[in-house]
Amino acid sequence: MTKPVPPTCRTTDRRTDTAALGQRGSLQVWLDPEMEWLAAPSGRRGRSATFPDAAIQTCPMLKALFGLPLRQTTGLVASLPGLAKLDGPVPDFSTLCRRQRDLTVAPLAARA
């Protein structure tokens, strides 16, 4: 008797695959409604940052807290504005990759 062949799952549509990975990380959390998700103009030359450092720091903290990969963390963060009844953009995968390299997050014990 031969062993059954396990089914292989091949994704041919990257867009739906990426959307499915983002939906896996969807979770609802409470946020401070006064937190600003859009950055103020910096006054320097060039394009200003869309998101302030506090919004970018929130994402790696949630990533570490729940042990999620970064792409699933973007799904988690994308569900936050709906919970807080806010309308606006959220950081995407490429923005988080680029901006988290430059941020330093102090441990919670050192902040007190």
Domains contained in the chain, number = 1
Cβ neighbour number for residue 109 with a 10 Å cutoff: 6
The pLDDT tens digits of the residues spanning 36-94 come to 767 777 777 877 678 877 778 888 888 888 888 988 888 888 887 776 666 677 788 88
Alpha helices for 40-92 (secondary structure H): 53-66, 70-78, 80-83
The predicted model scores a pTM of 0.57
Backbone angles phi, psi at 77, to 5 degrees: -70, -35
Task: Flag whether 40 is in a domain.
Answer: no
> What residue numbers bound the domain in which 78 lies?
26-31+49-106
Distance from chain centroid for Cα 94: 10
Name the residue with tokens 């394009």: 47
